[in-house]
Amino acid sequence: MVDYTAFDSAQALEYVKNQTNFFAPEAELTCYEFGDGNLNLVFRVHDEQSNSVILKQALPYARCVGESWPLTLERARIEASVLVRHGEVCPQTTVKVLHRNDALAITVLEDLGHMQILRAQLCEGHTYTNLATDVADYLAKTSFYHSDFYLPPAQKKALVTEFTNPELCAITEDLFFDDPYRYSERNNYPDELQPQVTALQNNQAVKLAVAELKAKFLSCAQSLLHGDVHTGSIFVDQTNTKLIDPEFGFFGPIGFDLGSFIGNLLLNYCAQHKRITELPKRRDLHAYLLNTIQTCVAQFEQTWLHLAKTQSQDLSLQAEGYAERFINQVLRDAYGFCGTELIRRTIGLAHVADIEDIENPVARLEVQKQALLLGEQLILQAPHCNTKEDLSQLLISLLL
Ligand SMILES: Nc1ncnc2c1ncn2[C@@H]1O[C@H](COP(=O)(O)OP(=O)(O)O)[C@@H](O)[C@H]1O
Ligand SMILES: CSC[C@H]1O[C@H](OP(=O)(O)O)[C@H](O)[C@@H]1O
């Protein structure tokens, strides 16, 4: 087995040239690193005709912090394996794995450079008609086909072991469920937000509801999640949607991925109050974001229930009303997790460009306050909603 070494551009190029056959032996290749995520190296290797592949390599530490935050290379294996599994049930919406080398923590991926990262596009006010249904399809199928409702019991349990991802899950446990609700050196927010943060950290009802969500995240191995469905992990164009970067994948509560996605749309919603000054344009974008959330939730529910009725051997789903009861709980969880995403992206370690790029600090502060309040109310009130219609009404009332 080859010993791990972190690549530079020359080594990435040599690897693609000598260890894969994507390019003809005589091709003149060029390579550069352009990763902008928090954790890994991302190289593009291309020839003179602009044929290209992406080589992603995990570092033995978190890129955004440096060697003082060591991190397992196992995350490359997890990421490639989740992509393969999710790609089997959702080939249209999952980036293709072309080659992998777990010892070197390398995954070679199809190059999606002809598409755009959703976060940047939403920040610029672009909209995508298929986004809601594509993401709903991905979330419903990946979650149903990796759940106990579909997999034979022994296979499901073996997969839970294969996808145990303790180090990456610990990051989520800290950043989503612990840090924002206590003093932590990792927290990051302006002094002016301190009164609201202190109130949040003293709010026992919020802490109780977050404790419930954390318990679910820790011990509810419902299905194989992507684990980090934010708008920076989604490539889009007007016809396609592709999910990348599931290195936080593990068997967890189904609502977590849907909640993370909705949370990122809502962060953008809050930011648009200050990003777009023309009222009609802002109204249109707000309407688009709200509609995307509602359509995604409704489509997710519909597809999931259809799969539950047509693809499951599990006797429990034959109990009248059980599938509906199950999915209603998933949706409540999703809105709760969504609230934790809003809060951790506002006052925790990892922020989002939607808010950070607002230049005027006063305007940015207003957005941060709104995101915090929205997150808090979703966490508190979602558990009391019965259906997706109630959840949608709750959201509308909070956005007014
Ligand atoms: N398959 C791909 N095609 C084109 N660009 C990609 C691809 N995968 C990643 N990238 C680029 O690299 C960046 C970081 O990738 P990502 O997987 O999010 O890394 P990290 O794991 O460090 O968060 C993305 O924002 C995107 O610009
Ligand atoms: C130190 S990890 C912080 C944060 O980064 C991850 O996102 P990405 O790698 O896609 O930028 C994930 O959301 C983690 O919570």
55 touches ligand 2 (CB under 6 Å): no
Rounded to the nearest angstrom, the distance between the alpha carbon of 152 and the centre of ligand 2 is 33
SS3 call for 61: strand
Query: Is 2 domain-assigned?
Result: no
CA-closest residue to ligand 2 atom 13: 228
111 touches ligand 2 (CB under 6 Å): no
Same domain flag for 94 and 135: no
Question: Would you give the DSSP letter of residue 54?
Answer: E
Does the structure show a pLDDT above 80 at 31? yes
Last residue of a domain, one of 62, 94, 110: 110
Atom of ligand 1 nearest to the CA of 115: 4
Query: Is 264 domain-assigned?
Result: yes
Rounded to the nearest angstrom, the distance between the alpha carbon of 37 and the centre of ligand 1 is 7
pLDDT on residue 387: 95
pLDDT range class, residue 294, cuts 50, 70, 90: very high
Query: Is 3 domain-assigned?
Result: no
pLDDT range class, residue 206, cuts 50, 70, 90: very high
Kindly give, in sequence order, each residue whose CB lies less than 8 Å from that of residue 355, ignoring residues fewer than 6 positions away: 267, 270, 271, 345, 346, 364, 367, 368, 371
Same domain flag for 58 and 145: no
62 touches ligand 2 (CB under 6 Å): yes
Q: Residue 3 to residues 6, 8, 144, 166, 314: CA-CA distances in angstroms?
A: 10, 15, 38, 23, 45
User: Mind listing the pLDDT tens digit for each residue in 50-71?
Assistant: 999 999 999 999 999 899 999 9
Residue % of the chain over a pLDDT of 90: 97
Which CATH number characterizes residue 89's domain?
3.30.200.20
Average pLDDT over residues 181-201: 98
Could you tell me which of 368, 383, 371, 377 has the C-alpha nearest to residue 395? 377
Same domain flag for 184 and 134: yes
Q: Which ligand minimizes its atom distance to the CA of 69?
A: 2
- State phi, psi for 57 to the nearest 5 degrees: -130, 135
Q: Can you tell me the distance from the alpha carbon of 342 to that of 328, in angstroms, rounded to the nearest whole number? A: 21
Q: Which domain holds residue 97?
A: 9-110
Last residue of a domain, one of 64, 79, 110: 110
Query: Is 1 domain-assigned?
Result: no
User: Mind listing the pLDDT tens digit for each residue in 346-355?
Assistant: 999 999 999 9
Does the structure show a pLDDT above 80 at 1? no
Burial 374-396 (b: 16+ CB within 10 A, else e): bbbbbbbbbeebeebebbbebbe
- State phi, psi for 387 to the nearest 5 degrees: -135, 175
The binding site for ATP consists of 40, 56, 110-112, 245-247
User: Mind listing the pLDDT tens digit for each residue in 217-263?
Assistant: 999 999 999 999 999 999 999 999 999 999 999 999 999 999 999 99
Which CATH number characterizes residue 284's domain?
3.90.1200.10
CA atoms within 13 A on the CB side of 215: 6
Same domain flag for 215 and 76: no
Last residue of a domain, one of 56, 85, 110: 110
User: Mind listing the pLDDT tens digit for each residue in 354-376?
Assistant: 999 999 999 999 999 999 999 99
Same domain flag for 250 and 298: yes
Interface predicted TM-score (ipTM) of this complex, two decimals: 0.98
pLDDT range class, residue 115, cuts 50, 70, 90: very high
Number of Cβ atoms within 10 Å of the Cβ of 321:
8
Question: Would you say how long the chain is, in residues?
Answer: 400
Residue type, 377: Q
Predicted TM-score (pTM) above 0.95: yes
H helix runs in 235-352, sequence order: 255-275, 279-310, 322-347
Element spanning 319, H or E: none
Number of Cβ atoms within 10 Å of the Cβ of 280:
8
Mean pLDDT of the chain: 97
Q: Which residue has the higher pLDDT, 358 or 313?
A: 358
Residue % of the chain over a pLDDT of 70: 100
Same domain flag for 172 and 268: yes
Domain count, the chain: 2
Let me know: does 37 contact 30? Beta carbons within 8 Å: no
Q: Which residues line ligand 1 (CB under 6 A)?
A: 35-40, 42, 54, 95, 109-113, 117, 232-233, 244-245, 247
pLDDT on residue 2: 79
Could you tell me which of 123, 136, 144, 145 has the C-alpha nearest to residue 241? 136
Query: Is 131 domain-assigned?
Result: yes
Average pLDDT over residues 114-140: 98
Give the rounded distance of the alpha carbon of 48 from its chain centre. 34
Task: Let me know the angle formed at the C-alpha of 90 by 86 and 95, rounded to the nearest 5 degrees.
Answer: 70
Same domain flag for 25 and 130: no
pLDDT range class, residue 400, cuts 50, 70, 90: confident
Same domain flag for 214 and 253: yes
SS3 call for 252: strand
Element spanning 352, H or E: none
Rounded to the nearest angstrom, the distance between the alpha carbon of 32 and the centre of ligand 1 is 13
Does the structure show a pLDDT above 90 at 126? yes
pLDDT on residue 13: 98
Q: Can you tell me the distance from the alpha carbon of 172 to that of 151, in angstroms, rounded to the nearest whole number? A: 26
Beta-bridge partners for 61: 70
Rounded to the nearest angstrom, the distance between the alpha carbon of 277 and the centre of ligand 2 is 30
pLDDT on residue 238: 97
